[in-house]
């Protein structure tokens, strides 16, 4: 199909291209001045005196923070099954175990009411995931973590920018937050991520471990009195630094982040208005005037829509519209299922949410006409399937 509307596309302008070319001509390709600037500007964007550390993916950032928490074999980390596998995979990298807690069926976020009974003497941390860019109900999660002495790492891969109780995600009273700049996320560097924290010890550990375990402190200390070649390795670190080429894209994307959010919000509002009354459940809205990043616009097919989710996506595709599904819950994937002997009904809310979930295209490069096409296609597919059912009922 030559007029196919893809599910997602990055929004790269001449500014990003010029900034990358500038880096390419500068002679400095890897982590350097652009990355330092990107970190400073990202920290300013989030505000509240946070430190920002650029990494080459959100997955790397999640891994680094958990390592800095001291998570290791014998420890347990609580998270949602309704996420991308990266959230949980990094826990296994450290030899620790996952304990999944089911979601709130209204928000698709971790259900705080179910967290406490999942806590054991081995529990060390909670990873809430702000699904689609709607903040988790963080206050009870923070209270539970305090009561049990647990760390909180926010997976904010979807949540730039979003707020909870009118505070930007990244500024809440948690231990660290990680954002993603993967190609489909709200801002992108191709691949990339950012750790945000106010905890100096966590920042220092992540800073060293993202680059071979080389202590910058030692490096900085020695450069004043010793030759520039000298450095000290304090641990067997990772190779998780972000290149200046990627940071160039990030610098320009960050300038557009508020504008992107406004555009996404307007598009979500248009979907809300035009898809109302159809046999689908529209995405949950933030409470108390909070900001939703609208990384995803995920609808649910109601039982009146006599069509399977697979068939719906197939029929949308036949009309030239790409859709997706967020997420296939982790406990339905072979690895996680086998690792913890999990059954679909172990997390019934996540299972049910997934069975009827469809993410519609929503991105800033879509035109009004593109969105009209999506809306018409959704109406068309659902109408066809409702009418047929009525006829078959009437016809006997």
Residues forming contacts to ligand PLP in the complex (CB under 6 A) are: 57-59, 83-84, 86-87, 129, 155, 157-158, 180, 182, 193
Cβ distance to ligand PLP smaller for residue 84 or 347:
84
Cβ distance to ligand PLP smaller for residue 193 or 283:
193
Cβ distance to ligand PLP smaller for residue 89 or 213:
89
Kindly list the distances between the CA atom of residue 374 and the CA atoms of 173, 261, 320, 323, in Å, as whole numbers in the listed order. 39, 20, 9, 10
256 catalytic, yes or no? no
Dig out the tokens for 126 from the structure.
């909670």
Cβ distance to ligand PLP smaller for residue 249 or 382:
249
Q: In whole angstroms, what separates CA 373 from the centre of its chain?
A: 27
Q: How far apart are CA 128 and CA 145, in angstroms?
A: 11
Q: How far apart are CA 219 and CA 178, in angstroms?
A: 26
Strand order in 176-180's β-sheet?
51-55, 193-197, 176-180, 151-155, 123-127, 76-79, 97-100
Q: How far apart are CA 61 and CA 188, in angstroms?
A: 15
Catalytic residue among 124, 185, 338, 379: 185
Query: Which residues, including other chains, have CB under 8 Å from residue 50's CB and lie 6 or more apart?
Result: 43, 170, 171, 196, 197, 198
Q: How far apart are CA 175 and CA 126, in angstroms?
A: 10
Beta carbons of 40 and 357 less than 8 angstroms apart: no
Min dist CB 117 to ligand PLP, Å, is 24
Dig out the tokens for 279 from the structure.
């046999």
Cβ distance to ligand PLP smaller for residue 159 or 278:
159
Q: Which of 169, 160, 161 is nearest to 136 (CA)?
A: 169
Size of the chain, expressed as the number of residues it contains: 396
Q: In whole angstroms, what separates CA 248 from the centre of its chain?
A: 21
Q: Which of 348, 361, 300, 353 is nearest to 327 (CA)?
A: 353
Q: How far apart are CA 61 and CA 57, in angstroms?
A: 6
Min dist CB 295 to ligand PLP, Å, is 8
> How do beta strands 297-301 and 357-360 pair?
antiparallel
CB-based burial of residue 344 (10 Å sphere; 0-12 exposed, 13-18 middle, 19+ buried)?
middle
Q: DSSP string spanning 146-168?
A: HHHT-EEEEE-TT-TT-EETTEE
Dig out the tokens for 347 from the structure.
């997390």
Q: Helix or strand or coil: residue 22?
A: helix
List residues with catalytic annotation.
Answer: 185
């Amino acid at each position: 199909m030559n007029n196919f509307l893809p599910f997602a596309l990055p929004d790269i302008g001449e500014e990003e291209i010029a900034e990358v070319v500038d880096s390419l001509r500068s002679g400095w390709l890897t982590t350097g001045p652009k990355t330092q600037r990107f970190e400073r500007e990202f920290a300013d964007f989030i505000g509240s005196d946070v430190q920002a550390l650029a990494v080459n993916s959100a997955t790397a950032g999640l891994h680094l923070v958990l390592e800095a928490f001291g998570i290791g074999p014998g420890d347990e980390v609580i998270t949602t099954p309704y996420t991308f596998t990266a959230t949980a995979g990094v826990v296994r990298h450290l030899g620790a175990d996952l304990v999944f807690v089911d979601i709130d069926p209204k928000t698709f976020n971790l259900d705080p009411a179910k967290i406490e009974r999942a806590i054991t003497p081995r529990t060390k941390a909670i990873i809430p995931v702000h699904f689609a860019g709607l903040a988790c109900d963080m206050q009870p999660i923070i209270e539970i973590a305090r009561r049990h002495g647990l760390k909180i790492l926010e997976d904010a891969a979807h949540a730039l920018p979003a707020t909870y109780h009118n505070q930007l995600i990244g500024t809440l009273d948690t231990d660290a937050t990680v954002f993603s700049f993967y190609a489909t996320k709200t801002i992108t560097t191709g691949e990339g991520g950012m750790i945000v924290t106010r905890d100096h010890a966590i920042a220092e550990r992540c800073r060293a471990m993202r680059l071979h375990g080389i202590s910058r402190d030692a490096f900085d200390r020695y450069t004043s009195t010793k030759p520039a070649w000298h450095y000290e390795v304090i641990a067997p670190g990772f190779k998780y630094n972000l290149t200046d080429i990627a940071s160039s894209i990030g610098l320009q994307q960050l300038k557009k982040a508020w504008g992107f959010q406004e555009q996404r919000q307007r598009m979500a509002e248009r979907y809300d208005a035009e898809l109302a009354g159809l046999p689908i459940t529209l995405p949950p809205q933030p409470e108390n005037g909070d900001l939703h990043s609208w990384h995803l616009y995920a609808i649910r097919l109601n039982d009146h829509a006599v069509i399977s989710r697979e068939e719906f996506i197939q029929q949308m595709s036949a009309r030239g519209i790409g859709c997706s599904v967020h997420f296939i819950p982790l406990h339905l994937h072979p690895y996680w299922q086998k690792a913890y002997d999990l059954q679909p009904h172990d997390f019934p809310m996540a299972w049910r949410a997934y069975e009827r979930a469809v993410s519609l295209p929503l991105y800033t490069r879509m035109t009004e006409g593109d969105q009209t096409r999506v809306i018409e296609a959704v109406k068309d597919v659902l109408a066809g399937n409702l009418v047929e059912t009525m006829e078959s009922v009437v016809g006997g």
